[in-house]
Structure 1
Amino acid sequence: MPKILVVGSINVDLIYRVPYIITPGETLHSTSCHIGMGGKGANQAVTAAQLQAEVYFVGAVGEDHYGDYALQNLRDRNVKTPFIKQEGATGQAIIQVTDQGENAIILVPGANYHITAQQLDEVCDCIKTADILLLQLEVPLAIIEQATKLATAAGTKIMLNPAPAQPLSDALLQQVTILTPNETELALLTGVKAQDDKGLKEACQLLLAKGVQGVVVTLGSRGVFYYTNKRNGYVAAKKVPVKDTTGAGDAFNGALAVALSKGQSLEDAISYANEIAAYVVTQSGAQPDLAIHLTCN
């Protein structure tokens, strides 16, 4: 069983079905609403745990009923939670989802910004024995930077999903084993608008020059482009009817971490992660139950 340590966010998702994404100054009736569990870190952890990885989580939830609910949800999904603290108010995501499955999200960080350096010090032994440290950017950047330093010192592989998009230092990037941006994040990190094969290669080469070992660019319905010093190419997306794209990228990252931890090649791991993400967009919410036939061997 692969061991994955996730440092990241935990949110309560307030999900509103709308006919289209609202525009500035407009009032729009929602056709339905419900509460779900989310946060990029929690979504990725739940995916990995459902795919038979041993998953530990470093994060924070609020001292409120949402926090209790979020913790119980992670435990019910077999995510190990001894390194999650409760302080303040639980983070929230206010999500619009259209009938076509597109979404727009407003984040309220809450307790996610209360993760401390002391929490990371407490998981040093866990970092040393983990196959992959899985990170995103919905928690303070200083925490991400410290986590990467600890993992680098321990010789643990680092997978960073640079979302939401923000500038990252060369010192951080040079420690990353696998970077998984989308096109927007890739453009922000490199200054290159990768609109074609040439642009994608140019942007990825810039990241490898900074020390990143491999780049996996998610392109939505166009699939995935990957680039390493040895190989590059495309892996096609699976065509499925889309119900809700919320959490699809997180499912991809969680599944990719599991497959790589089990020794799959990068191409095979991407194909597997694509299949998981394709299944997720046919379901509602960011953390759907995954069918057993999707388990990674």
Structure 2
Amino acid sequence: MNKITVIGSISTDLVVETSQLPKIGETIEGDAMTMSFGGKGANQAVAAARLDANVAMVGTVGLDDFGGQLIANLESNRILTEGVKRVTHSSGTAIIQLYNNDNSIIYVPGANNAITTADIDAVSETLLSSELVLIQNEIPQAVVEYVIEFCHQHKIQIVLNPAPARPIKAEHLEMLDYLTPNETEYEVIFPGQVMSETLAAYPNKLIVTHGAEGVYYHDGTQVVNVAGYKVEQVVDTTGAGDCFNGALSTAIVSGLNLKAAIQFANLAASISIQKLGAQTGSPSLAEIKDSEHYETKWDIEQ
């Protein structure tokens, strides 16, 4: 399968499960605590690699023990890590509260904020050998913009998952191939704009995920709603969006049309939320093919 390069955050997730949320100044007893690997960039890289995509990772981790573990985890998922640089900052960390089958997150970027445009120049050959670059907003905005400009100049497909949300310059919107906000991120990027009109302004580019409502995009003729897949039990929604983006990118480089790519990504995300963990929840290609919803016409190869 063709190469996907993911540029983004690589972090450690500290996950606390709780049956109640503390008030300010209050101490409560949680139900469980686990440590796992995360960072939106790493999550999306793992999601694509689990689907047998050829994935390279670009990012920064600390010289601490966490940094070594984060690189080893990527490599255990068959992800190329030559583009992962170690820096003197502490490795990135996310504190995740799981409550009532949903999550709230405090993200401490640490080493993820140390990546520079010079680091992107250093991996230019990796980018040039890629069919698609996938990037998010858990790294400095200047680096994100630099990558968008580089990919546009060299005609490399680029997907921006704008999380956490921040405004995007009009010229960079035009350079993107795909933009994948959720409904909350959409409001930050396009404040006060009617979604149907904005989708029509960016046909086959703007892909808005909308929870239980599914995914919306404009196919050049009309707004299309791609329904999600219902699941019997939601275990953990952490990383569902990352799984969607990794799977979407995999489907795109596999040659699926946009609607089929979104359907494939929806299926991957629906499987991921039935398991615990942002990365451990991401399904393998075999798991997706075993689903009753998998369509053989997608022809995703292992």
- What TM-score, normalized to structure 1? 0.92
Farther off after superposition, 274-283 or 16-25: 16-25
Equivalent positions of 1:64-83 (< 5 A) are: 64-83=64-83
Provide the C-alpha distance between the structure 1 equivalents of 2:192 and 2:84, rounded to a whole number of angstroms.
38
What is the aligned partner in structure 1 of residue 260 from structure 2? Answer: 268
Match status 1:163 vs 2:156: no
SS of aligned partner of 1:9: coil
Q: Residue 199 of structure 2 contacts residue 223 of structure 2 at CA under 8 Å; is this kept in 1?
A: no
Cα distance between partner residues in 1 of 2:181 and 2:238: 16
Matched letter for residue 279 of structure 1: I
Shift of 1:144: 0.5
| Structure 1 moving runs of 4+ over 6 Å | none
Aligned partner of 1:95 in structure 2 is 96
Q: Secondary structure of 1:70's match? A: helix
> For 1:273-284, what aligned pairs fall within 5 Å after superposition?
273-284=265-276
- CA drift at 1:21: 4.0
- Return the TM-score normalized by structure 2: 0.91
Gaps of 5+ in 1: 194-198
Structure 2 residues without counterparts, runs of 5 or longer: 290-299
CA change 1:11–1:129 in 2 (3 A) is: same
- Distance in structure 2 (CA, Å) of the matches to 1:230 and 1:60: 42
What displacement does 1:26 show? 3.4
Q: CA deviation at 1:228?
A: 4.0
**2:283 aligned residue:** 290
Deviation readout 1:142-201 (Å, 9 max, x if unpaired) = 0101111111111001100010011111122111111000111111111136xxxxx321
Could you tell me how far 1:121 is from its partner in structure 2?
0.7
Whether contact under 8 Å (2:226, 2:259) holds in the other structure is yes
1:175/1:277 Cα in 2 relative to 1: closer, same or farther (>3 Å)? same
Deviates more, 1:26-35 or 1:86-95: 26-35
Output one character per residue of 1:27-80: Cα deviation in whole Å (capped at 9) or x when no partner: 322110010000000000000011111111110011111111100000000111
TM-superposed deviation, 1:202: 2.0
Output one character per residue of 1:259-288: Cα deviation in whole Å (capped at 9) or x when no partner: 011110111111100111011100111001
SS at match of 1:5: strand
Residue type matched to 1:243 in 2? Answer: V
Q: Which residue of structure 2 lines up, in the alignment, with residue 56 of structure 1?
A: 56
Structure 1 residue identity aligned to 2:288: L
2:204 touches 2:217 (CA, 8 Å); kept in 1?
no
Amino acid of the structure 2 residue aligned with 1:65 = D
Overall identity of the aligned pairs, in %: 38
CA distance in 2, matches of 1:110, 1:72: 19
Q: Which residue of 2 aligns with 1:224?
A: 215
Amino acid of the residue matched to residue 12 of structure 1? T
The answer to whether the 8 Å contact 1:127/1:154 transfers is no
Tell me what 1:196 maps to: none
Retained in 1: the 8 A contact 2:12–2:36? Answer: yes
What is aligned with 2:297? Answer: none
1:3-18 to structure 2, matched below 5 A, reads: 3-18=3-18
The 1:247/1:164 distance shift into structure 2, 3 A limit, reads same
